[in-house]
């Protein structure tokens, strides 16, 4: 395994632990595979298997300094009830985030600190369904100093990562 892939694996695992605090107590975590910029993880928490995927940003457009790494997570804590979330790497201004899929499907996101998520379960489902057919996802946000960011994610590899996540946590 190349040094670059090993570093990417380590970074993905570290980031997931940061965004999903309840995984810190996980009994066992395992990377199930990497597909494009998407990684599949499983873990045991209190004897229960949980699954999630992490997407890495491919392009950042921002004037925000001292920003940490941005990434997307889709988690499957309850089989069939998948949840989309994003970590901006900075503290969002209250509810100042939105998502755009293939430059045409737009969703407003709720925010708290550095995290954003769809405002309804229906939007979670719509977003995940659209991601399976799309090529690109953008997250636009604003921090507490009114500085903006646009993060672009490639969806190459998303479908395979998502299917494996779903298979691992039936």
Indicate the number of domains in the chain: 1
Residue-number span of the structural domain to which 79 is assigned = 3-168
For residues 86 and 117, the answer to whether their CB atoms sit within 8 Å is yes
Burial class (CB in 10 A: 0-12, 13-18, 19+), 10: exposed
Q: State the CATH number of the domain containing residue 122.
A: 2.60.40.1880
Tens digits of residue pLDDT in 4-63: 443 444 444 444 444 454 444 445 789 999 999 999 999 988 888 889 999 999 999 998
pTM above 0.85, yes or no: no
């Amino acid at each position: 395994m190349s040094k670059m892939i090993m570093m990417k694996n380590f970074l993905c695992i570290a980031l997931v632990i940061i965004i999903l605090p309840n995984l810190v107590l996980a009994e066992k975590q395992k990377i199930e595979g990497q597909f494009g910029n998407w990684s599949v993880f499983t873990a045991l928490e209190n004897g229960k298997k949980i699954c999630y995927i992490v997407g890495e940003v491919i392009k950042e457009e921002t004037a925000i300094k001292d920003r940490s790494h941005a990434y997307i997570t889709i988690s499957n804590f309850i089989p069939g009830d998948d949840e989309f979330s994003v970590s901006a790497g900075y503290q969002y201004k209250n509810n100042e985030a939105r998502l755009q899929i293939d430059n045409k499907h737009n969703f407003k996101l709720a925010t708290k600190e550095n995290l954003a998520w769809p405002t309804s379960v229906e939007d979670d489902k719509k977003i995940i369904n659209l991601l399976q057919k799309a090529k690109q996802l953008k997250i636009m946000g604003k921090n507490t100093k009114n500085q903006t960011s646009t993060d672009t994610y490639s969806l190459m590899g998303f479908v395979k990562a998502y299917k494996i996540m779903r298979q691992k946590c039936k």
